A and B are shown apart, each in its own frame.
Chain A
């Protein structure tokens, strides 16, 4: 008897320990997942925040009438003016290879930057001026302190000679970090220090516009029909199963559809936001339909019945009384769908939106790229400086997604407090 209770007692303790273990396993799983989320954000933010600062180098250039003709600014060779300015700052540099290193400290855009400054302010002309130009990507990494100088010279992208020159510039106050406006107003570039996100941001905006204009009316129309008017027969069952399955089709398959039908069969222009928007619209359609149907279902049937009882036709009852109430829910679905579309990459690769786009697209028929595709392209680029740009572009993409989802959440709250 005593033995039996003891056994039960032991067993109980064992079982309770198992209980505790079980609960901790659950907590552990949640902690691991959330820790991953935090690591991801931390890694991207720490990599990307530096993009706000961009190193600049001061060059004293001779803008006298011999070099630049005030009547014909474009005719001057600003490239050689910049080079001469750099040579004058470092008279001790004589070897050809060292001169090349010296010229490489400023961006290849430097000449254009000086030309732009001069055309904006012609009073600069006529004498020597000290102007700030963008540093090259490797010089930028050193100036912003991201180069490990303890590494052997061979393992660095920047040589001891270049470091010596940059150190002199920093000492003389000829190198500084300033706000990187270029990143927000430039298009893509092969040079990381010049590359900006505006072209891809505009591409994304145009693509989303097309996507929304197509998928929102289609999705709402389909949802209203299926929820309010469709006869319960095999056809509507088929459509229903179809929509659920479409929601789970891999996104790249939609890209193949776009490639073979929109580009191949219909002959629409490749790489354009028009085609990108169409493909993404087909992809987001199921999301919007499913969310809109849920919104319609949440409207109490009494609304519709009251309208019908007062003599409204079924279409009037739905459009005048059910739809306005369901609208916030439908918009929520549309925003979630658009957020999905904004982050989508793979189908856009299929229809050629991976092109190298420098100019900011202004119409849906111009070749363009999208923000996530730009991220993919930069992530693939070999220059180390692009890592920072990639992370920064991701921060911008995530910011947009967070804003869209917040709007969706607020709308949903508004809907929920209605009834």
Chain B
């Protein structure tokens, strides 16, 4: 080797080996698509079987939900009724209560944290709120059933209100608290993304801080906040354990928050735990409910994620 010559050798590792590694990693990324496909295919397939037994019209517009499997073929009400409206009613009622609790709490704490709080306070309060998001839902469910429901029942009793021991209100309130950190952290990001120039302009015109927030920042952040509220609602609709433990199984068409209602998720669990025959309408209906839940939350998530993303780009 002559002096002064720099020898550059490309790594002797053959390119095909790299390609295999990249291929394996691409396959790992493909799993994400497979999962979605798996969800859609399994739900759709079982739902089609279900619709062979129960017509779609009865499922979507029926007013009564009492799934049962006949003991004798000729018994009264042998096929049960699979009207999903009472379940949608219960799901929306509980989600509405949850959002009624979570929206004001989450939004105002996000505003306070991003606009007023000192850095020190923020460093303490934010992780504190995030703990709420990290608590398993089964713990919330236990708390709702053990502490919140009896409290509401007792308080309601003092005002002469008849409160069921498993009320929509207890489940909704606890679920609302669970969602607070979701709303507050998403809205926090959105509020922080509003350009400083808008704030400065408003303050420069003599508006107070709160006027600036209410009349300038909030309108500017509104689409993003709407997106985060939508995400939170979809979370509430898909929540299972809190409602399973605190809201009960009674499928009723009611808007009274003091009564027991049931939700789509609770019914899926009730239908699929315990004894089941695999091809009965009762078992299959759980998958139809699952598909309904999946489609409902998917639509909300897609819209919400799109709004949030678009909004972020607008100010970047």
- List chain A positions with a Cβ less than 8 A from chain B: 15-16, 18-19, 22-23, 25-30, 32-34, 36-37, 39-40, 43-44, 47, 217-222, 224-226, 229-230, 238-239, 241-246, 248-254, 256-257, 259-261, 264-265, 282, 285-286, 289, 311-316, 319, 339, 342-346, 349-350, 352, 354, 372-373, 375-376, 379-380, 387, 390-391, 394, 397-398, 401, 405
A346 (CB) vs chain B CBs: closest residue: B240
B36 and A315 contact, CB distance less than 8 A: no
CB-CB under 8 A from A344, the residues of chain B are 136
B109 and A379 contact, CB distance less than 8 A: no
Which of B15, B109, B132, B240 is the one whose CB lies under 8 Å from A252? Answer: B240
In the complex, the number of residue pairs spanning A and B with C-beta atoms less than 8 Å apart equals 257
A252 and B147 contact, CB distance less than 8 A: no
Report the separation of the CA atoms of residues A286 and B35 in the bound assembly, to the nearest whole angstrom. Answer: 11
B237 and A250 contact, CB distance less than 8 A: yes
A37 and B116 contact, CB distance less than 8 A: no
CB-CB under 8 A from B104, the residues of chain A are 29
B301 (CB) vs chain A CBs: closest residue: A248
B43 and A256 contact, CB distance less than 8 A: yes
B101 (CB) vs chain A CBs: closest residue: A32
Which of A226, A245, A253, A313 is the one whose CB lies under 8 Å from B290? Answer: A253
Grouping DSSP codes into helix (H, G, I), strand (E, B) and loop, the B interface class, with mixed when no group exceeds half, is: helix
Stretch at the interface among B57-65, B73-81, B137-145, B194-202: B137-145
Which of B22, B36, B129, B244 is the one whose CB lies under 8 Å from A242? Answer: B36
Stretch at the interface among B163-171, B252-260, B291-299: B291-299
Interchain nearest-CB distance for B238 vs A (Å):
3
Interchain nearest-CB distance for A362 vs B (Å):
25
A244 and B305 contact, CB distance less than 8 A: yes
A42 (CB) vs chain B CBs: closest residue: B147
Which of B13, B25, B209, B245 is the one whose CB lies under 8 Å from A225? Answer: B25
Interchain nearest-CB distance for A242 vs B (Å):
5
Q: List 23 A-B contacts (CB under 8 A).
A: A19-B208, A25-B112, A26-B108, A27-B112, A29-B108, A30-B109, A33-B129, A33-B181, A34-B129, A44-B139, A221-B28, A229-B22, A229-B26, A248-B301, A253-B294, A257-B39, A289-B32, A346-B137, A349-B272, A379-B245, A394-B139, A394-B142, A397-B139
A390 and B21 contact, CB distance less than 8 A: no
CB-CB under 8 A from A319, the residues of chain B are 21
Query: Which residues 252-311 of B have a CB within 8 angstroms of A?
Result: 265, 268-269, 272-273, 278, 286-287, 290, 293-294, 297-298, 301-302, 305
CB-CB under 8 A from B33, the residues of chain A are 238-239, 242
CB-CB under 8 A from B43, the residues of chain A are 253, 256-257, 260
B39 and A253 contact, CB distance less than 8 A: yes
Report the separation of the CA atoms of residues A251 and B240 in the bound assembly, to the nearest whole angstrom. Answer: 8
CB-CB under 8 A from A26, the residues of chain B are 108-109, 111-113, 116
Report the separation of the CA atoms of residues A277 and B137 in the bound assembly, to the nearest whole angstrom. Answer: 19
CB-CB under 8 A from B312, the residues of chain A are none
Which of B13, B111, B136 is the one whose CB lies under 8 Å from A401? Answer: B136
Which of A245, A350, A376 is the one whose CB lies under 8 Å from B36? Answer: A245
A238 (CB) vs chain B CBs: closest residue: B33
Which of B239, B241, B297 is the one whose CB lies under 8 Å from A249? Answer: B297
Report the separation of the CA atoms of residues A312 and B10 in the bound assembly, to the nearest whole angstrom. Answer: 7
Which of B10, B235, B293 is the one whose CB lies under 8 Å from A248? Answer: B235
Which of B11, B25, B26, B143 is the one whose CB lies under 8 Å from A40? Answer: B143
CB-CB under 8 A from B157, the residues of chain A are none
CB-CB under 8 A from B87, the residues of chain A are none
A376 and B132 contact, CB distance less than 8 A: no
A259 (CB) vs chain B CBs: closest residue: B272
Given the known interface contacts A15-B211, A250-B238, A285-B35, the answer about A230 and B134 at a Cβ–Cβ threshold of 8 Å is no
**Can you list, as one digit per residue, whether each of B104-146 has a CB less than 8 Å from chain A (1) or not (0)?**
1111110111001000000001001101101111111111011
A311 and B8 contact, CB distance less than 8 A: yes
Tally B residues with Cβ within 8 Å of A: 90
CB-CB under 8 A from B265, the residues of chain A are 250, 252, 346
CB-CB under 8 A from B107, the residues of chain A are 29
A248 and B231 contact, CB distance less than 8 A: yes
Among B31, B140, B231, the most chain A Cβ lie within 10 Å of the Cβ of B31
List 18 additional A-B contacts (Cβ < 8 Å) besides A32-B105, A230-B26, A319-B21.
Answer: A18-B211, A19-B208, A19-B211, A25-B108, A33-B109, A34-B129, A43-B147, A219-B28, A222-B31, A256-B268, A256-B286, A257-B39, A343-B134, A344-B136, A345-B136, A346-B265, A372-B138, A380-B245
Interchain nearest-CB distance for B101 vs A (Å):
9
CB-CB under 8 A from A224, the residues of chain B are 25
B134 and A401 contact, CB distance less than 8 A: yes
A313 and B131 contact, CB distance less than 8 A: no
CB-CB under 8 A from B13, the residues of chain A are 313, 316
**Can you list, as one digit per residue, whether each of B204-228 has a CB less than 8 Å from chain A (1) or not (0)?**
0000111101100000000000000
A257 and B231 contact, CB distance less than 8 A: no
Which of B15, B31, B145, B214 is the one whose CB lies under 8 Å from A218? Answer: B31
Given the known interface contacts A29-B109, A34-B129, A218-B31, the answer about A249 and B134 at a Cβ–Cβ threshold of 8 Å is no
CB-CB under 8 A from B240, the residues of chain A are 250-252, 345-346
The reply to whether the CB of B88 lies closer than 8 angstroms to some CB of chain A is no
CB-CB under 8 A from A16, the residues of chain B are 208
B35 (CB) vs chain A CBs: closest residue: A282
Interchain nearest-CB distance for B104 vs A (Å):
7
B239 and A250 contact, CB distance less than 8 A: yes
B112 and A30 contact, CB distance less than 8 A: yes
B147 and A23 contact, CB distance less than 8 A: no
Which of A15, A217, A354, A375 is the one whose CB lies under 8 Å from B273? Answer: A354
Interchain nearest-CB distance for B199 vs A (Å):
15
The reply to whether the CB of B30 lies closer than 8 angstroms to some CB of chain A is yes
B39 (CB) vs chain A CBs: closest residue: A257
CB-CB under 8 A from A405, the residues of chain B are 134
A37 and B132 contact, CB distance less than 8 A: yes
Among B10, B28, B104, B235, the most chain A Cβ lie within 10 Å of the Cβ of B28
Report the separation of the CA atoms of residues A107 and B192 in the bound assembly, to the nearest whole angstrom. Answer: 60
B240 (CB) vs chain A CBs: closest residue: A346
The 6 A-B pairs at the shortest CB distance, nearest first, are namely A250-B238, A26-B112, A343-B136, A221-B28, A22-B210, A225-B25
Report the separation of the CA atoms of residues A346 and B136 in the bound assembly, to the nearest whole angstrom. Answer: 11
**Can you list, as one digit per residue, whether each of B171-182 has a CB less than 8 Å from chain A (1) or not (0)?**
000000100110
The reply to whether the CB of B155 lies closer than 8 angstroms to some CB of chain A is no
